[in-house]
Amino acid sequence: MVVIAAGRRADQPGEIERLLGPIWVGTFDEAQMHTPVAVTDKALHFLRARGADGLVTIGGGSAIGLSKALALRTDLPQIVLPTTYAGSEVTPVVGETRDGQKQIFSDPRILPESVIYDVDLTLAVRPGAAVLSGLNAIAHAVEALYARDRNPLVSSIAIAGIELLASALPVIARDGSDIPARARALQGAWLCGTCLALVGMSLHHKLCHTLGGMFDLPHAALHAAVLPHAAAFNESAVREHLKPVARIFGAADAATGLYRFACELGVEMALGAIGMPESGVATAVEATLENPYWNPRALTAEGLRALLEDAFAGRPPYIQTRRE
């Protein structure tokens, strides 16, 4: 077995190496966010050189993304121990980046065979990073509520996941050692990730994949900053579907509730502040329109430009009027 990680936070990979004993043949701890193909190729060589027959992966989205990219190429079984709350560990989806473009793959081989949830493993993740990963998970559930292939069961799962994270994240932000809150967040992440595994993606994920690949922006922070604006863009088309989100966050509309919630948690909401160049707005609009995901509201250059300009500046979301 090879251990996959992104660095050696709290020496968690070392503990796994010890527990695996003689079946451990090496650790690849160079996983990076957005799963660059060059890193995956390096890890693939590492696996083959050691004759690995399985993967034990510990960490957040970077480590899990690399593990899933390796499984897509090798069909090796994966045992995943998530330490954050994005929910990636329960999806058959991986996004890989090459030359500034992020490509999404969905395949049964990508889905990990086993997931082990251990609250203690999440304690090494600082509260700020934990909160951002939870907002990433919420994004999966929000889009599931108005997905083209949505259904009542997935909507129920999505609402339950959002409720759990909405209750847990403020507690974690105040006290990262709160075990019950960390446990609720793990459960919420599992539910929200399950939504992404069951239904398709829309504008929010398309924008995050585009911006992340182009500008190498921090993955979870990117989801947190874009989500209220994507919800605002679609709100007029799917207001009934988003009513539970508005209710959970105590706001008149989902977009305002999501934005206010993130701000109250101390999250940076300006894309410009997390590394996106202002000139990137036009480039991102063009790329999004060139290969769009299905969306409940028709995409226009004008509407996307307004969305991204607001997100770049970190302004509160504006509910765009439906014109189509």
Residues 97 and 196 in one domain: no
Domain range for 58 is: 2-121
pLDDT in tens, the chain (324 residues): 999 999 866 567 888 999 999 999 999 999 999 999 999 999 999 999 999 999 999 999 999 999 999 999 999 999 999 999 999 999 999 999 999 899 999 999 999 999 999 999 999 999 999 999 999 999 999 999 999 999 999 999 999 999 999 999 999 999 999 999 999 999 999 999 999 999 999 999 999 999 999 999 999 999 999 999 999 999 999 999 999 999 999 999 999 999 999 999 999 999 999 999 999 999 999 999 999 999 999 999 999 999 999 999 999 998 776 544
Over its C-alpha atoms, the chain yields an Rg (Å, rounded) of: 19
For the entire predicted model, the pTM comes to 0.94
CATH number of the domain that 215 lies in?
Answer: 1.20.1090.10
Q: Do 195 and 222 fall within a single domain? A: yes
Q: Looking at the structure, do residues 67 and 7 belong to the same domain, yes or no? A: yes
Are residues 100 and 209 located together in one domain of the fold?
A: no
Both 230 and 301 in one domain: the answer is yes
305 and 168 together in one domain: yes
Of 223, 67, 263, 262, give the one whose Cα is nearest residue 141: 223
- How many angstroms from the chain centroid is the CA of residue 3? 22
Q: Which residue bears the tokens 């399950």?
A: 194
Residue for token digits 């300009």? 309
Number of domains, the chain:
2
Shared domain for 154 and 185, answered yes or no, is yes
**The domain boundary residue, chosen from 74, 97, 121:** 121
Is residue 137 domain-shared with residue 117, that is, in the same domain?
A: no
Beta strands in 83-238 (DSSP E): 93-98, 101-106, 114-115
Interatomic CA distance for residues 66 and 140, integer angstroms: 20
- List phi, psi (to 5°) of 31: -60, 145
Residues 65 and 90 grouped into a single domain: yes
Residue 179 lies in a domain: yes
